[in-house]
Amino acid sequence: ASDRSIFIWDINSSELIKRMKGESSLKEAKFLHENDKIITTGEDKSIRIWDISQGREINIIKRQNKPVSHVAFLQNTDQIISSSKSDDFIVGLGSFSINLWNTRNLKLSRNLKNHRYKIEDIELSKDKKTLLSLSYRKATLWDLDSGNILNEFSGFKKMMYTCEFSKNETEFAVGTDNGKINFIDIKTGEINRTINAHGSTIFAMNFSPNYKYLFSGGFDRKLKLWDAQTGSLIKTMSKHISSLRS
């Protein structure tokens, strides 16, 4: 959340399990490895690793030159991706390009440029070979091996802040500034279906591991659980005191 908090929830009971407090506004949080740790990015230009059982920060990387907004992982490698690749994780910064860093020496290995505006989100395909990036009203598909652009989608009427690949990766979901979740065809760029999810901007979205459910959260401070196939609302969790970012 933007109040510097990380919330850990029990999905079945909707009960809050743990809350951890950071030193600056947090942009992104994801489970690391065996789900015993969390990695976060934020406004203070750092990447932090947290131990869930201890409830505290255990490591920090302060080598970024801009506020870090997004993080994703490459399994069994040594890479960071920042929108600004490490052999272990990928980070997207709030800048105009995507940088691939090596975590062992923290040296830049590749830079991907195609956006004129700040990058809002990045998402990896399941095989870790394709990267999806969002900026303003434009989405770009990248081949990570070559750094080439596979496809571009533009002309959308609303700002897009968060994205997720579908199970079979024939489409991707985006959260917009008018509270809608749009499912976009990966070949044509057409909107296949829409969920009227929130009353205002959606900043965060994630599929469950089996892709049966979709979580969404945003400016209205509500975390919602959806049936990903039917678009039906299953549950709303609203104990947050500020907007949800991840």
Per-residue pLDDT reduced to its tens digit, 65-98: 555 555 555 544 444 454 443 344 455 554 677 7
Integer Cα distance of 84 and 135 in angstroms = 13
pLDDT at 63: 55
What rounded mean pLDDT belongs to the chain?
Answer: 80
Residue 62 has pLDDT above 70, yes or no: no
- Other C-beta atoms closer than 10 Å to the C-beta of 139 total 24
Q: pLDDT higher for 118 or 80?
A: 118
Residue 223 has pLDDT above 50, yes or no: yes
pLDDT at 115: 76
pLDDT at 61: 67
9 close to 15: Cβ distance less than 8 angstroms? yes
Does the pTM of the predicted model rise above 0.85? no
Which of 41-50, 97-106, 127-136, 161-170 shows the lowest per-residue confidence on average (mean pLDDT)? 97-106
For the record, the structure tokens of 173 come out as: 């979901």
124-133 mean pLDDT? 87
57-65 mean pLDDT? 69
Q: Please provide the DSSP assignment of 4-43 as one string.
A: SEEEEE-TTT--EEEEEE-SS-EEEEEEETTTTEEEEEET
Q: How many CA atoms lie within 13 Å of 188's alpha carbon, on the beta-carbon side?
A: 6
